């Protein structure tokens, strides 16, 4: 592990540690936005960036330059091997010096200029155990190849805090998640999850049994929208993780539409034909966006049906 702290790093005793893991994404835009947001709170914030195995010399040099110039206490950690989503975030948390951890993905961008200041105010006013700030696709690309993902995200994920609070464990993603450090160290991410998906929701299911998970509207945009083939690839990765979360927390997962559909497909032995038909509809550019999005949901449910025991 190669460390690259800036000159401010040794002198700051932060309240808030902003933790930014990435693999092949470029966090430059996010780092510049955080730099512009800190205002008079420089002494209360640190930023730790984890390059989780990108091994891009040019990008590393660019980020080292940004770290050197930042007015925030900032450190770039570069790993030559890919640790994975859970292990990488656990490492970041163990190295953080702040009382609070803010996990934010490298392909996120705050939706307003006082993003960090709002998080600090939330900490000061409420001393929460864990809070999700929400996310949007407001600033994401409007290119047609991302239209299906945009539509699906707007419908199911980009919802206000009043809606998220009704199922607080379901709407928890590491894209914009504040956690008190002692709570996280007692409840780290499960490193048995591999690939993409569900490790953050599983974490929330565990933590909500002993700590309140709250929701506020302090959103950031998910810039990294995916094409339909890329989404399908992520869903294939997530099937094993979904089966794991269903075994660990059946009382929560039983309420999820994707689980109920998967169970029906499994019982009727329709998982394979539904997956084949859904894939054809999802990849067809001639179909309406809403139909392609619905097909993707059935494609995912069919994958989950095969993974469930």
Give the per-residue pLDDT at 160.
95
> What number is the average pLDDT over the span 123-134?
96
Place 42 in a pLDDT band, splitting at 50, 70 and 90: confident
Per-domain boundaries in the chain: 2-225, 230-307
Q: Look at residue 222 and tell me whether its pLDDT is greater than 70.
A: yes
pLDDT tens-digit series, residues 52-85 = 989 888 999 999 999 999 999 999 999 888 888 8
Angle at 160 between CA 157 and CA 165, to 5 degrees: 90
User: What's the CA gap between 297 and 149, in Å, rounded?
Assistant: 11
Find all residues with CB under 8 Å of 125, minimum gap 6, and list them.
Answer: none
pLDDT at 39: 67
Looking at the predicted structure, is the pLDDT value of residue 144 above 80? yes
**% of the chain exceeding 70 in pLDDT:** 99
Q: What is the pLDDT of residues 247-297, one digit of tens each?
A: 999 999 999 999 999 999 999 999 999 999 999 999 999 999 999 999 999
Average pLDDT value for residue range 201-209: 94
pLDDT of residue 193: 87
Q: Which stretches of 213-288 are DSSP H helices?
A: 228-248, 250-253, 257-267, 271-283
Give Cα 137 to chain centroid, integer Å: 13
Looking at per-residue pLDDT, the higher value among 73 and 309 belongs to: 73
Task: Read off the pLDDT band of 88 (50, 70, 90).
Answer: very high
Write out the two tokens for 120.
């600090």
Q: How confident is the model at residue 309 (pLDDT cuts 50, 70, 90)?
A: confident
**C-alpha–C-alpha distance, residues 156 and 151, integer Å:** 9
The mean pLDDT value for 6-34 works out to 93
pLDDT at 66: 92
Neighbouring CB atoms inside 10 A of 71's CB total 12
> What is the pLDDT at residue 270?
95
Q: What is the mean pLDDT of the chain?
A: 93
Rg (C-alpha) for the chain, rounded Å, is 20
CA dihedral 243, 170, 151, 232 (to 10 degrees): -20
pLDDT the model gives residue 282: 97
At 93-112, the pLDDT tens digits run: 999 999 999 999 999 999 99
Residues 232-240, mean pLDDT to the nearest whole number = 94
Tell whether domain 2-225 is in CATH 3.40.1190.20: no
pLDDT band at 38 (very low <50, low <70, confident <90, very high): low
pLDDT of residue 56: 85
């Amino acid at each position: 592990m190669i460390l690259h702290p800036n000159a401010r790093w040794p002198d700051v005793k932060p309240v808030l540690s902003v933790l930014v893991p990435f693999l092949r994404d470029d966090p430059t835009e996010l780092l510049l936005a955080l730099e512009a947001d800190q205002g008079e709170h420089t002494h209360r914030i640190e930023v730790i960036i984890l390059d989780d195995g990108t091994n891009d010399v040019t990008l590393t040099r660019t980020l080292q330059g940004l770290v050197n110039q930042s007015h925030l206490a900032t450190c770039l950690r570069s790993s030559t091997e890919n640790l994975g989503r859970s292990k990488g975030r656990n490492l970041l948390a163990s190295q953080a010096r702040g009382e609070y951890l803010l996990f934010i993905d490298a392909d996120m961008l705050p939706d307003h200029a006082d993003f960090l200041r709002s998080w600090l105010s939330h900490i000061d006013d409420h001393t929460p155990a864990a809070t999700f700030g929400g996310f949007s696709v407001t600033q994401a690309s409007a290119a047609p190849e991302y239209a299906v993902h945009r539509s699906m995200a707007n419908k199911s994920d980009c919802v206000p805090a009043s809606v998220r609070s009704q199922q607080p464990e379901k709407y928890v993603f590491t894209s914009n998640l504040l956690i008190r450090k002692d709570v996280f160290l007692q409840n780290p991410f499960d490193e048995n999850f591999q690939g993409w998906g569900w490790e953050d929701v599983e974490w929330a299911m565990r933590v909500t049994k002993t700590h309140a998970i709250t929701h506020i509207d302090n959103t950031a945009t998910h810039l990294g929208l995916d094409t339909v083939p890329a989404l399908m690839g992520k869903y294939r990765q997530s099937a094993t993780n979904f089966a794991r979360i269903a075994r660990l927390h059946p009382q929560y997962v039983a309420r999820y539409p994707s689980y109920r559909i998967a169970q029906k497909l499994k019982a009727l032995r329709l998982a394979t034909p539904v997956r084949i038909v859904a894939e054809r509809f999802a990849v067809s550019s001639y179909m309406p966006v809403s139909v392609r999005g619905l097909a993707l949901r059935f494609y995912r449910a069919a994958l989950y049906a095969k993974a469930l025991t």
